[in-house]
Amino acid sequence: MKLIYNLIIVLGIFTSISCEKIIEIDIPEREKKMVLNGLAKSDSTDFYVNLSQSISILELDENVQKINDASIQLLQNGVLVGNMLPIGNGSYKIENIHFQTQKPYSLVVNHPNKQSISAEFQFPKKADFKLVDTSYITRTDYGYSFSMFAFEIEINDDPTMKNFYRISIAQRYTYFILNNNGDTIWYVGENKLPLSINDQQTNMIVSETDYYSLVFSDELFDGKKYRMFFNAEADLLSYPDETPTTIIVEQITEDFYKYEVTYANYFYSKDNFLSQPVIVHNNVSNGFGMVGALSQADTTFLLQTNYTVPTFKK
Amino acid sequence: MKKRILILLFHFLVLSTYAQKYTISGYVRDAANGEALINATVYQSGTLVGTISNEYGFYSITLPEGKVKLIVSYVGYKPFTEEIELNANKTLNIKLENSNELDEVTISESRVETKVESSQMSVVEVPIQVIRNLPVIFGEVDILKAIQLLPGVQSGTEGTSGFYVRGGSPDQNLILLDGVPVYNANHLFGFFSVFNADAIQNVQLYKGGFPARFGGRLSSVLDIRMKEGNSNNYKVSGSIGIIASKITVEGPIWKERTSFLISARRTYLDVLARPIIAMANNDMGEGDMNAGYYFYDTNFKLNHTFNHKHRLFLSAYLGKDRAYVDSKDTWDNTTNETDFGLQWGNITTALRWNYQIDEKLFANTTLTYSQYIFETGGGFKTTYHKENREDWYKFSYISGINDVGAKIDFDYMPVPEHYVKFGVNAVEHTFRPGVNVFNLNSGDEYNIDTTFGNRNIYTKEFMAYFEDDMKIGSRVKLNTGIHFSAFSVRGKYYTSIQPRISGRYLVNERFSLKAAFSTMSQYIHLLSNTSIGMPTDLWLPVTDSIKPQQSWQAAIGGAYSLLDDYEISIEGFYKNMHNLIEYKDGASFFSINEDWEKKVEIGRGRSFGIEFLIEKKVGKTTGWIGYTWARAYRQFDNISNGKEYPYTYDRRHDASIVINHKFNNKIDIGVTWVYGTGNATTLGIQKYVPYGINSFQLIEYYESRNNFRTPAYHRLDVGVNFHKEKKWGNRTWSIGVYNAYNRKNPFFMQFENRNNKQVLVQYSLFPLIPSVSYSFVFNK
Q: What is the pLDDT averaged over residues A246-271?
A: 89
Answer yes or no: do B711 and A17 touch at CB < 8 A.
no
Q: Which residue of B has its CA nearest to A287?
A: B688
Whether residue A289 and residue B688 make contact (CB cut-off 8 A), yes or no, is yes
Residue A7: its pLDDT value, please? 47
Reported pTM: 0.81
Task: State the pLDDT at residue A144.
Answer: 67
Q: How far is CA A281 from CA B202, B638, B685, in A?
A: 51, 10, 16
> Chain A partners of B595 at a C-beta cutoff of 8 Å?
202
How close, in Å, is residue A16 to chain B by CA atoms? Answer: 8
Interface check for B700 against chain A (CB to CB < 8 A): the answer is: yes
What is the per-residue pLDDT across A7-27, written as a single tens digit (0 to 9) for each?
A: 455 545 545 444 666 666 556
| B692 CB within 8 Å of a chain A CB | yes
Q: Is A234 helix (H, G, I), strand (E, B) or coil?
A: coil
CA B399 to chain centre: 22
Taking the C-alpha atoms of residue A224 and residue A205, their distance in angstroms, rounded to an integer, is 21
B277 Cβ under 8 Å from any chain A Cβ:
no
Residues in chain B closer than 8 A to A64 (CB atoms):
687-689, 698
Task: Mark A146-167 as b/e (b = at least 16 C-beta within 10 Å).
Answer: eebbbbebebebbeeeebbbbb
What mean pLDDT value characterizes chain B?
84
B378 touching A, CB under 8 A?
no
Q: What is the mean pLDDT of residues B253-269?
A: 88
The pLDDT of residue B109 is: 42
Q: Which of A145-149, A290-294, B649-653 has the lowest mean pLDDT?
A: A145-149
Which comes out higher in pLDDT, residue B112 or B224? B224
Chain A interface, best mutation among B686, B760, B772, by max A CB count within 10 A: B686
Per-residue pLDDT band for B349 (boundaries 50, 70, 90) equals: very high
For residues B679 and B156, give the distance between their C-alpha atoms in angstroms, rounded to a whole number: 9
pLDDT in tens, B66-83: 888 888 888 778 888 888
Is pLDDT above 60 for B111?
no
Are B73 and B107 in contact by the 8 Å Cβ rule? The answer is no
What is residue A36's three-state secondary structure?
Answer: strand
A257 has pLDDT over 90: yes
Whole-angstrom Cα distance, residue B23 to residue B62? 4
Tell me what pLDDT residue A308 has: 53
> Is residue A241 over pLDDT 70?
no
Residue B103 phi, psi (nearest 5): -75, 115
**Contact state of A55 with B688 under an 8 Å Cβ cutoff:** yes
Instruction: List the single residue in A23, A30, A208 with the smallest CB-CB distance to B692.
Output: A208
What pLDDT score does B634 carry?
A: 94
Interface test with B, best of A142, A274, A283 (most B CBs within 10 A): A274
**Mean pLDDT of the B329-351 span:** 88
Quickly state the pLDDT bin for A120 (edges 50, 70, 90).
Answer: very high
pLDDT of residue B35: 84
pLDDT (tens digit, 9 = 90+) per residue, A190-210? 788 888 776 555 678 888 888
B687–A50: do the CB atoms touch at under 8 Å? no
Nearest chain A alpha carbon to B748: A20
CB-defined contacts A:B, below 8 A: 193
CA separation for the pair B662, A53 (Å, rounded):
65
Q: Which of B588, B594, B748 sits opposite A269 (nearest CB)?
A: B588
Residues of A in Cβ contact (< 8 Å) with B698: 55, 62, 64
Separation of alpha carbons A56 and B321, rounded Å: 44
Chain B positions touching A56 (Cβ under 8 A) are 685-687
- Residue B110's pLDDT band (boundaries 50, 70, 90)? very low
> Which of B698, B756, B763 is opposite residue A19, by nearest beta carbon?
B763
The more confidently predicted of residues A101 and A310 is: A101
Q: Which residues of A touch B770 (CB under 8 A)?
A: 14
Sequence-separated (6 or more) residues with CB below 8 Å from residue B626: B149, B150, B151, B611, B612, B613, B654, B655, B656, B657, B658
B454 closest CA partner among B640, B251, B596: B596
Tell me the mean pLDDT in the region A288-311.
79
Instruction: Report the gap between the CA of A295 and the closest CA in chain B (Å).
Output: 18
Q: Which residues pair with B716 in a beta bridge?
A: B673
DSSP result, A99-162: --TT-EEEEEEEETTEEEEEEEEEPPPPP-EEEEEEEEEEEEETTEEEEEEEEEEEEE--TTS-
Q: Which helix (H) or strand (E) holds B143?
A: helix B143-147
Q: Are A262 and B585 in contact (CB under 8 A)?
A: yes
- Pick the residue of B638, B689, B750 with the most A CBs within 10 A to test the interface with A by mutation: B689
Predicted local distance difference test score (pLDDT) of residue A142: 60
Quote the CA–CA distance of A183 and B219 in Å, as a whole number: 81
| List of chain A residues whose C-beta atoms are within 8 Å of the C-beta of residue B275 | 5
A-chain residue closest to B442, CA distance: A143
Mean pLDDT of B220-227: 91
C-alpha closest to that of B27 among B305, B424, B353: B305
| A51-97 residue pLDDT tens | 999 998 888 877 889 999 999 999 999 899 999 999 989 999 999 99
**CA A180 from centre of chain:** 38
Q: Do A142 and B583 touch (CB under 8 A)?
A: no
B718–A contact, CB cutoff 8 A: no
Predicted confidence (pLDDT) at residue B353 exceeds the cutoff of 90: yes
User: DSSP states of B303-352 as a string?
Assistant: EEE-SSSEEEEEEEEEEEEEEEEEEEEEETTEEEEEEEEEEEEEEEEEEE
Q: For residue B689, which residues of chain A lie inside 8 Å, CB to CB? A: 35, 37, 50, 52, 64, 289
Interchain CB distance below 8 Å, B691 and A288: no
DSSP character string of B552-592: EEEEEEEEEEETTTEEEEEEEEEEEEEEEEEEPTT--TT-T
Q: Is B257 exposed, middle or buried (0-12, 13-18, 19+ CB in 10 A)?
A: middle
B356-365, B491-500, B593-602, B724-733: least confident range: B593-602
Residues 512-531 of B with CB under 8 A from A: 529-530
